Structure 1
Amino acid sequence: MQGFKSLLGDAISNATANLRNQQSPNQSRPEGHNNPSAANMNQGGGYPGTYPPLGQGYPQQGPGCPQQGPGYPQQGPGYPQQGPGYPQQGPGYPQQGPGYPQQGPGYPQQGPGYPTGNIGFAFPNQPNDARCPPQPGFAPTQEMGYPRHTGSPRSQPQPPYQPYQPQSGCGMPHHSVQSNTSTYPSYQMPMNPKPGASSMSYGRASVTPAANFSANADAEALRKAMKGFGCDKNKLIAVLCARSNAQRQEIARSFKTLYGKDLISDLKSELHGDFEDLIIALMQPPAVYDAQQLRKAMQGLGTKESVLIELMCSRTNAQIVELKTTYRQLYGKELEGDLDGETSGCFKRLLVSLSAAGRDESFHTDPLKANQDARALYRAGEQRLGTDESCFNAILAAQNYMQLRMVFAEYEKVIGHPIEKAIEAEFSGDIRDGLMAVIQCVRNKPAFFAQALYNSMKGLGTRDNDLIRICVTRAEVDMADIRDEFHRMFNTSLEAMIKGDCSGSYKDGIIALVRGN
């Protein structure tokens, strides 16, 4: 028993000595040199930070290996500590997600900014789908052609135009005078134009489509009026002067269907003189009648430029397109070619420009551009020796009526007198008359026709063809406005002047168109 204790004590002493010998070299090495503990302390906690206490199995397992055995179990629990880290990143995405909705509301704030850029619009109540107005130079609108089955919309007052305040300089005279609106009245456009409407087409018609219309009944009434000896002209007036042109075309078709005869031929055989010209003009489709009037003005010796000016300056793009097609069908020639052959110089170029049917017919206005164009017109005319007619042609034949009115107002504000004075001074002959007609139609088209009607009846005799043409072509467009302008301009009624210049059934027919139905 004592021998066993002696052996056990020697073994313990030897083990203790060996352990001390193993620890002494490690303590002499530099910190971290070949020391797993020092080298791996900062690697996520997978290795133990210190050696275990003495007497816990290290002497039996040998150096190094016991340290790796317990190390792996500590790495196993280390991964769960990293696992919870992902949930902390996961909630981070929802915090970024709400950031996009904060950018989303920014777009509506940019949307309302567009109307502020269109400060030149004459109509403040624009439809929501028309924030970007049509720009000048775009394809012309085709919906406002010759009158069909409906009357023209009533015009409403337009807010007064506020001239653009230009900056001084550019060598231009600056005057503080106000526009003389009493001398050159401006026709008032509707406050709320319909989408796609033309700025050239508004007015109050005197003749509108008849209610309870029956083409067969009217055809029968006309047949009775022309049957037998003589003709009941009052009946013709009561029917034809109280129907729209489209309804008259239906009556003509019904007349041929019912009686196998052409209504126009029967009317020509029964009528004569100015009354015949009036009734036949009423029976022609508008584009056909315009084409006939243009052809008549260019036939024979000389050309009646006033007719060319009236028709080409006052028609809409759609009407001009239809007119050119009809002219080609009737005469086998191009209208533009005949205008080119019958006129010359600047006047020819103006008519060709108008016949292109390329005028902007929108309601878009740009005050800054109006001021620039007014100055360009001054430089092309009054400021220089000679005249650059191409500048006048390019502006007056292409821009919409609302924009041109703004240009005229800017011209008078900057230069000190109306643009009409510049036209009178810089041009002469037909080109002067043509440009003046364009300006008058832009300012106030009913006043332009009121003046033309007055000219047809003033002095000795009557220019019956002009009187008939204007009354027939404007009855379904703006005759009510023309009638009012005539009274304002000449202090007498249009009806009274017609009664003083015309007579008989011819007078009654003209007055019926002026009064309307």
Structure 2
Amino acid sequence: MANIQRIRQGSIKVPPEFREPTIRETSGFHPEDDAKALQKAMKGFGTDEKAIINLLTKRTNQQRQIIAEAYQTLFNKDLAKDLKSELSGTLSDVVVGLMQSPEVFDAHEIHKAISGLGTDEETLVEILCSRTNAELYAIKLTYQKLFNKDVEKDISGDTSGYFRRLLLAEFQIPRNETDEIFLYQSYHEALALWETGPKKWPQDEAFSIPIFTRRSHAHLRHVFDEYKAICGLDIEKDVTNELSGDVADYFLAIIKLTRNPPAYFAERLYKAMKGLGTTERTVVRILVSRSEKDLGNIKSEYFRLYGKSLESWISGDFSGDARKILLALIGEAK
């Protein structure tokens, strides 16, 4: 044991991951011209959906906000409201999402997940586990502004037990966002997680919650590697074997996001589109929210995992303008 501990003392840093967005900032940007083009696309009889799709999917969120300001100045109208009134169905949902700032979009998605009968726990896990500290803070402030409610109280009212405390910890305990791995600490955390076992993690919240909600993703990856080195069992498989329900979903999401975020989102997209029916909201949310982050990586992981392109799945599950805008978001405009 002494030799193992000695070897694992100190810390190391890992290089940042390469991210490939599908939407990048347009050079030679002229917001007034874009505002006029959008007004023209909505003016008169009929709407030019193609023009709207082509323009909005080739501008970043920040550029869309500037276009909205120019539209307000030029025509004294709210661009987002005008677009929503002219469009319908999935196309409208995507365009509304594209016109919202990321924190407004996420706040609305959380509100939908906990409003009405039932709770969409998977959406809560996806958003809270994949956003940065700064993004979570912005969501909290924006949710209060939009709905005059505290997002933590709303989530607390719709969830319970250990699962509730895991979700709330994502807001309350800032995650270490460095690329540093503490070798000695990671080994002993892995050893303690294995000796305790997933079934008993909920019984020792003071031990388990900080590990999964405060440690950096780089550090957690090393913890999970150490876990397998210690017991010969992958922690993901151990969680699947010993836990179920929302708590299992949370841990599996953290493990997958820690190891390979694009693969996690690829799996979410696959599950949303496979079989009978499509969970359109999940598809729209992931494509909109990841388009300026790592949607290019998600496309690659989708093909690697399922042997078919994301483009082919979207083409098979959507039609018309909905298909066109979703394919444009993933960089496969037809």
The yes-or-no answer on 1:352 pairing with 2:243 is: no
Equivalent residue of 1:121, what SS?
strand
Aligned-partner Cα distance in 2 for 1:336–1:477: 26
Q: Deviation of residue 516 (structure 1)?
A: 6.9
Equivalent residue of 2:118, what SS?
coil
- Asked if 2 retains the 8 angstrom alpha-carbon contact of 1:288 and 1:327, the reply is yes
Aligned twin of 1:490: 306
The yes-or-no answer on 1:501 pairing with 2:317 is: yes
- Asked if 2 retains the 8 angstrom alpha-carbon contact of 1:487 and 1:493, the reply is yes
- Asked if 2 retains the 8 angstrom alpha-carbon contact of 1:327 and 1:334, the reply is yes
Aligned twin of 1:141: none
The yes-or-no answer on 1:388 pairing with 2:279 is: no
CA RMSD of aligned residues (A): 1.9
Counterpart amino acid of residue 388 in structure 1: Q
Equivalent residue of 1:228, what SS?
coil
Aligned twin of 1:177: none
Equivalent residue of 1:487, what SS?
helix
Aligned-partner Cα distance in 2 for 1:387–1:234: 51
Q: Deviation of residue 389 (structure 1)?
A: 4.9
Q: Deviation of residue 357 (structure 1)?
A: 4.7
- Asked if 1 retains the 8 angstrom alpha-carbon contact of 2:162 and 2:202, the reply is no
Residues 327-336 or 501-510, more deviating = 327-336
Aligned twin of 1:401: 217
Aligned-partner Cα distance in 2 for 1:214–1:120: 48
The yes-or-no answer on 1:332 pairing with 2:223 is: no
The yes-or-no answer on 1:275 pairing with 2:91 is: yes
Q: Deviation of residue 386 (structure 1)?
A: 8.2
Q: Deviation of residue 231 (structure 1)?
A: 0.6
**Are the structure 2 counterparts of residues 272 and 502 from structure 1 closer, same or farther at C-alpha, using a change threshold of 3 Å?**
same
Aligned twin of 2:3: none
Aligned-partner Cα distance in 1 for 2:71–2:200: 63
| TM-score, structure 1 as length reference | 0.61
**Are the structure 2 counterparts of residues 454 and 371 from structure 1 closer, same or farther at C-alpha, using a change threshold of 3 Å?**
same
- Asked if 1 retains the 8 angstrom alpha-carbon contact of 2:273 and 2:279, the reply is yes
Indicate the structure (1 or 2) with the bigger Cα radius of gyration: 1
Describe the superposition over 1:130-166 as per-residue Cα deviations: whole angstroms up to 9, x where unpaired: xxxxxxxxxxxxxxxxxxxxxxxxxxxx6xxxxxxxx
Aligned twin of 1:475: 291
Residues 438-447 or 385-394, more deviating = 385-394
Describe the superposition over 1:284-343 as per-residue Cα deviations: whole angstroms up to 9, x where unpaired: 111001000000110011101011000000000010011101011111111111111110
The yes-or-no answer on 1:261 pairing with 2:152 is: no
Q: Tell me, which stretches of 5 or more residues in structure 1 are unaligned? A: 1-115, 124-157, 159-188, 191-201
Q: Deviation of residue 379 (structure 1)?
A: 2.0
Q: Deviation of residue 259 (structure 1)?
A: 1.0
Aligned-partner Cα distance in 1 for 2:75–2:39: 9
Aligned-partner Cα distance in 2 for 1:405–1:252: 41
Q: Deviation of residue 204 (structure 1)?
A: 1.4
Aligned twin of 1:234: 50
Aligned twin of 2:158: 342
The partner residue of 2:38 within 214, 217, 222 is: 222
Q: Tell me, which stretches of 5 or more residues in structure 2 are unaligned? A: 1-6
Greater helix content: 2
| Paired residue total | 326
**Are the structure 2 counterparts of residues 403 and 490 from structure 1 closer, same or farther at C-alpha, using a change threshold of 3 Å?**
same
The partner residue of 1:444 within 260, 264, 267 is: 260
Aligned-partner Cα distance in 1 for 2:126–2:293: 15
Deviation >6 Å, runs of 4+: none
Determine what percentage of the aligned residue pairs are the same residue: 40
Aligned-partner Cα distance in 1 for 2:88–2:76: 23
Equivalent residue of 2:22, what SS?
coil
Higher relative contact order (CA 8 A, sep 6+): 2
The partner residue of 2:11 within 117, 120, 141 is: 120
- Asked if 1 retains the 8 angstrom alpha-carbon contact of 2:9 and 2:184, the reply is no
Q: Deviation of residue 117 (structure 1)?
A: 10
The partner residue of 2:122 within 282, 288, 306 is: 306
Aligned-partner Cα distance in 2 for 1:308–1:358: 17
- Asked if 2 retains the 8 angstrom alpha-carbon contact of 1:290 and 1:323, the reply is yes
Counterpart amino acid of residue 285 in structure 2: R
Counterpart amino acid of residue 435 in structure 1: F
Aligned twin of 1:316: 132
- Asked if 1 retains the 8 angstrom alpha-carbon contact of 2:8 and 2:187, the reply is no
Q: Deviation of residue 503 (structure 1)?
A: 0.5
The yes-or-no answer on 1:430 pairing with 2:321 is: no
- Asked if 2 retains the 8 angstrom alpha-carbon contact of 1:350 and 1:397, the reply is yes
The partner residue of 2:193 within 367, 371, 377 is: 377
**Are the structure 2 counterparts of residues 319 and 387 from structure 1 closer, same or farther at C-alpha, using a change threshold of 3 Å?**
closer
Aligned twin of 2:111: 295
Aligned twin of 1:418: 234
**Are the structure 2 counterparts of residues 387 and 307 from structure 1 closer, same or farther at C-alpha, using a change threshold of 3 Å?**
closer
Aligned-partner Cα distance in 1 for 2:323–2:162: 39
**Are the structure 2 counterparts of residues 267 and 325 from structure 1 closer, same or farther at C-alpha, using a change threshold of 3 Å?**
same
Aligned-partner Cα distance in 2 for 1:261–1:365: 51
| TM-score, structure 2 as length reference | 0.93
